[in-house]
Amino acid sequence: MLHFTIRRLILSVPTLLFISLVIFLLLDLAPGDPMASIPLTVPPEVKEKMREALGLGEPVHIRFLNWLYQFFVVEPQVAFDHIFGTDFSEGKQRIISFQSRSPVMSVVAERMPQTLWVVGLSYVFATLIAVPIGIFSAYRQYSWFDQLGTFISMVGFSIPTFFSGVLLIVVFSVILGWFPSIYDTTHTITDWGSFWFQVKQMAMPVFVLTLYNAAQVSRFMRASMLDNLNQDYVRTARAKGLSERVVVLVHVLRNSMIPVVTVIALGVPNIFGGAIITEQVFQVNGLGQMLISAIYASDAPMVQTLTFIFAVLIVLFNLIADILYGILDPRIRYD
């Protein structure tokens, strides 16, 4: 397993370099000018100097190599300096956002807590709810619980999040007035009253994302459990006199989790990417909303850095899923 992990990590390097090149070229060829937001009263020569200051006057390959150096060398040094109080990154140019004129990774670090609070918490809830529902629905196939779970899962997976989000705002914010319709990112928790307000403003976006993610995971869990419940090893375990709890929760569940692990692991990068549509609906000032704003403003460094971070997370959690396969099923060997 160790050799497989090292081999996959080495192979991921050219993969990520190719992905970063594709992202960079697509953004470079895309229409839009970061100077478009500059007032028309600014003289052309001043605009040209601003373009040079942002590095837009350099050739394409120079700009790409500079971005690689800043992302893989300078930004890790900045993080190291922040943690240990050193000065390795002092005086070095960081990745600068065209829109905010501030370091991209600093803006990402500011927005990350909001995304983790809303999107991350909803994914944890979805997983904790979906796995037991999928197990029990498969074990009690065609029961009223299975029928109800299937109906809710189909509804949750079929209705887009922008519709369910707007529907919740109309019902629970506009008509009933129970929850705030806009997420207040400046809110700080100082007492029980502020904590309760934080819970209330998180309730609707978390519910929307939990319903959508739980619907997907529960259907995979149910299908995988049904596929394993009819296998020969299950009949053998029951013939040996093992209790039904041990058969289902030890033998069947362990084998059934293999395809579900893929769904859960590949969904984790979405936590950091943020639910773009849901963040827009509820005005959550997270990474998803920041990505949309950067696209509108032709902020290439911000868009490139965010999309590349998502690509790194996808490659990483693909590797984690493969490692978990070997843990769940001892028959799977990579070495």
pLDDT at res. 40: 65
Poorest-pLDDT segment among 137-141, 222-226, 274-278, 292-296: 274-278
When divided into structural domains, the chain yields a total of 2
- The DSSP line for 212-227 is HHHHHHHHHHHHHHHH
For range 226-249, the mean pLDDT: 84
Other Cβ atoms closer than 10 A to 65: 12
CB 126 within 8 A of CB 161: no
Q: What is residue 274's DSSP assignment?
A: -
Return the higher-pLDDT residue of 90 and 236: 236
Say which CATH number the domain at 281 has.
1.10.3720.10
Q: How distant, in Å, are the alpha carbons of 117, 125, 181, 203, 333 from that of 133?
A: 24, 12, 30, 21, 31
Poorest-pLDDT segment among 151-165, 184-198, 204-218: 184-198
Q: Render pLDDT for 84-132 as a digit per residue (tens, 0 to 9).
A: 878 777 777 778 887 777 888 888 888 888 888 888 888 889 889 998 9
What crossing angle do the helices spanning 300-328 and 287-296 adopt, rounded to 10°? 140
What crossing angle do the helices spanning 192-229 and 253-267 adopt, rounded to 10°? 130
Q: What percentage of the chain carries pLDDT values higher than 70?
A: 89
The answer to whether residues 152 and 68 belong to one domain is: no
Tokens of 184: 């207040």
Other Cβ atoms closer than 10 A to 169: 20
The answer to whether residues 108 and 78 belong to one domain is: no
The answer to whether residues 189 and 56 belong to one domain is: no
The answer to whether residues 136 and 75 belong to one domain is: no
Write down which residue in 25, 56, 84 finishes a domain: 84
Nearest of 266, 275, 33, 252 to residue 160 by alpha carbon: 275
- The DSSP line for 69-121 is HIIIIIHHHHHHHHHH---TTTT----B-TTTSSBHHHHHHHHHHHHIIIIIH
Residue with tokens 């190599």: 65
Reported as a pLDDT band with limits 50, 70 and 90, residue 1 is low
Does residue 90 lie in a domain region? no
Reported as a pLDDT band with limits 50, 70 and 90, residue 133 is very high
For range 292-297, the mean pLDDT: 81
Residue 334, classed as helix, strand or coil, is coil
Nearest of 87, 76, 80, 34 to residue 57 by alpha carbon: 34
Return the higher-pLDDT residue of 331 and 127: 127
Poorest-pLDDT segment among 72-76, 167-171, 261-265, 276-280: 276-280
What gap in Å lies between CA 120 and CA 127, rounded to an integer? Answer: 11
Residue with tokens 């059934």: 256
CB 136 within 8 A of CB 109: no
Instruction: Tell me the whole-structure pTM to 2 decimals.
Output: 0.78
Residue 46, classed as helix, strand or coil, is helix
Q: Domain limits at 295?
A: 104-328
Does residue 95 lie in a domain region? no
Reported as a pLDDT band with limits 50, 70 and 90, residue 262 is confident
Other Cβ atoms closer than 10 A to 202: 19
Does residue 335 lie in a domain region? no
pLDDT at res. 320: 81
Q: Render pLDDT for 30-55 as a digit per residue (tens, 0 to 9).
A: 776 666 666 667 677 776 676 666 66
The answer to whether residues 133 and 66 belong to one domain is: no
Q: What is residue 1's DSSP assignment?
A: -
How many Å separate Cα 56 from the centre of its chain?
30
The answer to whether residues 73 and 119 belong to one domain is: no
Query: Counting beta carbons within 10 angstroms of the beta carbon of residue 59, is it exposed (0 to 12), middle (13 to 18) or buried (19 or more)?
Result: exposed
Does residue 98 lie in a domain region? no
Own/partner contacts of 72-78, CB < 8 Å, gap of 24 or more, are 75/105, 78/103, 78/105
The answer to whether residues 110 and 79 belong to one domain is: no
Q: Render pLDDT for 152-190 as a digit per residue (tens, 0 to 9).
A: 888 888 888 888 888 888 888 888 888 888 877 777 777
The answer to whether residues 179 and 314 belong to one domain is: yes
